[in-house]
A and B are shown apart, each in its own frame.
Chain A
Amino acid sequence: MHVSKRAPAASPHRPAAVDRVTLYALIATGLAIGIERAIRLWNRVASITGPGPHRAPVTPRNLETVVQLGSGGGTQAEITTGTLKVAELSGPETGLLITQEVVTFLAIATIIVCLTLLARNTIRGTVFHRSNTALLTGAGLAAAAGYGAWTFFGQMASNEIISRLSVARPAVYGTSGDFMPYFLGLFAFGIVTVAYAVGARLQRETEGLV
């Protein structure tokens, strides 16, 4: 029988019924998330490329203004995120906003596909395998890329809009960069992936003993 490294053969140690049901339910959840994200992507792209006015998110820096709190006097505030209503989006703004949506969707879809394949392998009793380690690594990298793309392209689009409206006033350009989620993600996925990689090696080495 041909056994591919990419598609591990079914193991005699299939999970218990309760685990299989849990995994099928999680796969269904993943599918539902994928469909919801695809519909959202479609709507967002249609809205971005459609006729104006458009509501565009902006993340400025050092932008102080007075905000009105209730009917009383206003208070000084530094705006960190806002929504601007613009008559139309320029070419670069449209491109950046669509890229932000598409790359983020692709990242989420990659995570869902990788973990669905991991669940399928687990259902078949193949818990440790090189392909599982690769799938987990793929999911982790996709998560990092998706988070990075969302903040990077969003910030680029925001800067473009601010630049166009203010006729290039770089003092209020934003720079986004909270690296803590990266470190946390790297740590969590790193530990789990190393455990998988070591487990796969352990299984390969002990297979001859069984």
Chain B
Amino acid sequence: MTAPSNYRPAKADRIALVALMLLGAGIVVSSAVSFVSTTAAILGQGPHTVTANFFDLAGKLPLGPGGAEVSAGVVTATVNIPELVAPATGLLIAEAAVQFLAITTVIVCLVLLGQRALRGVFFGRGNTALIVTTGFAAIFGYMLPPILRQMGTTEALLDLSEGDFFNFMLALNPVQLFIAVFVFGIIATAYTVGSRVQRETEGLI
């Protein structure tokens, strides 16, 4: 672990870091409340409201004058399910859990990074590891929950339609993944380089 340096950030930077850490704590608390309430709702008595994605399911929407129906493709809709089957329950809880874990990991890593910055430690293998972990948690937290939700709602709708409606689609835009890799890659590499430069110059100061 990198030893704390003698340098301490300016007062304004310390206030900014503490404010951001408080914001992080608030986000974790809000996510935990959301996770617990979602899990309780999934495990509780029906009917359950699930949000399902469809691949342009043909439907009629009352959007015309006076509520007249117009043809449309339904992309997302919330559907009331009287009773959730076990696989749907498990998958929907897994979605909420992964989301919560990913957000918490991102926040904890960044809070630790902020804490190290407050101690004057900006670079070091520990900081690089924290940034890389943040990146991976953010990417998994963004990509995995929609897949789990889609699997869960597929099970629920299959049961609701008595095995007649198999609605599985994955709308994953790889460009978003590349953008995330690009952003986190550049920041993480900058941290790696900074650590090395710091190690090389330590003897000179």
Residues on A close to B: CB < 8 A? 11, 13, 15-16, 19, 22-23, 26, 29-30, 32-33, 36-37, 55, 57-58, 60, 63, 65, 67-72, 75-85, 108, 111-112, 115, 118-119, 122, 125, 127-128, 132, 136, 139, 162, 165-167, 169, 172, 180, 183-184, 186-188, 190-192, 194-195, 197-199, 201-202, 205-206, 209-210
Residue-wise, chain B 150-189 has the 8 Å CB interface mask toward A (1 for contact) of 0000000100111011010000000100110111011101
Count of A-B residue pairs with CB < 8 Å? 227
Q: How far is the CB of A60 from chain B (nearest CB, A)?
A: 7
A65 contacts B190, C-beta separation under 8 Å: no
A72 contacts B20, C-beta separation under 8 Å: no
Residues on B close to A: CB < 8 A? 7, 9-10, 13, 16-17, 20, 23-24, 26-27, 30, 51, 54, 56-67, 69-80, 103, 106-107, 110-111, 113-114, 117, 120, 122-123, 131, 134, 138, 157, 160-162, 164-165, 167, 175, 178-179, 181-183, 185-187, 189-190, 192-194, 196-197, 200-201, 204-205
A194 contacts B114, C-beta separation under 8 Å: yes
> B188 — nearest CB in chain A belongs to which residue?
A22
Q: How far is the CB of A121 from chain B (nearest CB, A)?
A: 9
- B residues near A32, Cβ cutoff 8 Å: 178
B186 contacts A187, C-beta separation under 8 Å: no
